Amino acid sequence: MRVLITGSAGFIGFHVAKRFLEEGHEVIGVDGFTPYYDVQLKRARHALLEECKGFSGHRLMLEDAEALNALAEAARPEILLHLAAQAGVRYSVENPRAYIDANLVGSFNVLEAARASGVKHLLAASTSSVYGANPTAPFVESDRIAFPLSLYAATKAAGEAMAHSYAHLWDIPTTLFRFFTVYGPWGRPDMALFKFVRAMLADEPIEVFNHGRMARDFTFVDDLVEAVRRLADLPPERGGAGCSPAAPWRVVNIGRGEPIELMDFIAEIERALGRQAKLDLRPMQPGDVPATFADTSLLLELTGYRPSTSVRAGVEAFSRWYADYYGAPSI
């Protein structure tokens, strides 16, 4: 099977590509290697993929429609996994233009490439941030997402709507994933776990927003990969479970289904590192939400699978990777 993956040098894209390659599939990886965070980390991920039989990596920006179309036409993928995006709630306040370019223009170009190349299943990453000011919990895929609290969330919600229109107009089987706070080895340096571990090992204070009164549905990356892989083999059909009444399109939460208090998360990091955190308590950041909580009933119905890795096991796995990759003190 030929799989084209955008964002293949990114945290999630790397892990998903690795899974398909381990199964013997052909993977065409696309990444722009943008400097939003350490590009060397992205290069290191891609270098590991390049050691695998069946992988071909391509450096291009999704905003370059001509280059993307040429690659998709040559590759003729059966599955297109769109995982590239400008991520980060807080950065969207500082640099909103990056989100318009990557998440709207880039995603539109991916939709056009999917239409032109005739993929059998288009899968794309969304985010739990689209639930925004939703007052109910747990978050269910059918909840309204009309009240985004950040431009990042707004662009991802728009991407879902754009994908629905293409699924309807061109009959493209399409699955959107709403990811819930993914963490694990090879994670992003702008995410809380990475920042906390780095600061604590340097004996520096960690920034704790909303004075610690936050909760997240932390999802270990291996669990997410398993869910994505199972869904990839299940292209939606009109009238199917969770599908739109007007298109072979669905959106699926991928989370553990158990929000963890931020201070409890920090306690697990302290346990894994064997040291106490110095807390720099701060107010809530613009665009953030106090809690996320996934209803994973649809994922379970479709795939028979529900993420289950404990936060303790996930934090330990990340801490071991960090120590190995950066040569940090033994933990």
Q: Which of 36, 37, 131, 152 is catalytic?
A: 152
pLDDT at 90: 85
Per residue in 168-219, pLDDT tens? Answer: 999 999 999 999 999 999 999 999 999 999 999 999 999 999 999 999 999 9
DSSP secondary structure code for residue 13 in this structure: H
pLDDT at 20: 98
pLDDT at 48: 98
Per residue in 234-289, pLDDT tens? Answer: 999 998 999 999 999 999 999 999 999 999 999 999 999 999 999 999 998 887 88
CA 153 to chain CA mean position, Å: 13
Does pLDDT of 330 surpass 70? Answer: no
209 domain-assigned: no
265 domain-assigned: no
CB 92 within 8 A of CB 148: no
Phi, psi for residue 215 in degrees, rounded to 5 = -145, 145
Measure the CA–CA gap between 195 and 10, rounded to whole angstroms.
Answer: 17
324 domain-assigned: no
Closest residue by Cα to residue 208 from 139, 283, 140: 283
Number of domains the chain is built from: 1
pLDDT at 331: 64
**Which tokens is 245 given?**
């009444």
Measure the CA–CA gap between 202 and 223, rounded to whole angstroms.
Answer: 30
238 domain-assigned: yes
CATH of the domain at 114: 3.40.50.720
Measure the CA–CA gap between 115 and 184, rounded to whole angstroms.
Answer: 33
135: domain range? 2-184+219-254
130 domain-assigned: yes
Per residue in 277-329, pLDDT tens? Answer: 999 999 988 878 889 999 999 999 999 999 999 999 999 999 999 999 999 76
* Residue in the block written with tokens 């995006």: 85
Per residue in 96-154, pLDDT tens? Answer: 999 999 999 999 999 999 999 999 999 999 999 999 988 889 999 999 998 999 999 99
278 domain-assigned: no
Per residue in 5-30, pLDDT tens? Answer: 999 999 999 999 999 999 999 999 99
* SS3 state at 97: helix
Percentage of the chain exceeding pLDDT 90: 92
316 domain-assigned: no
Measure the CA–CA gap between 166 and 115, rounded to whole angstroms.
Answer: 8
266 domain-assigned: no
Catalytic: 152?
yes
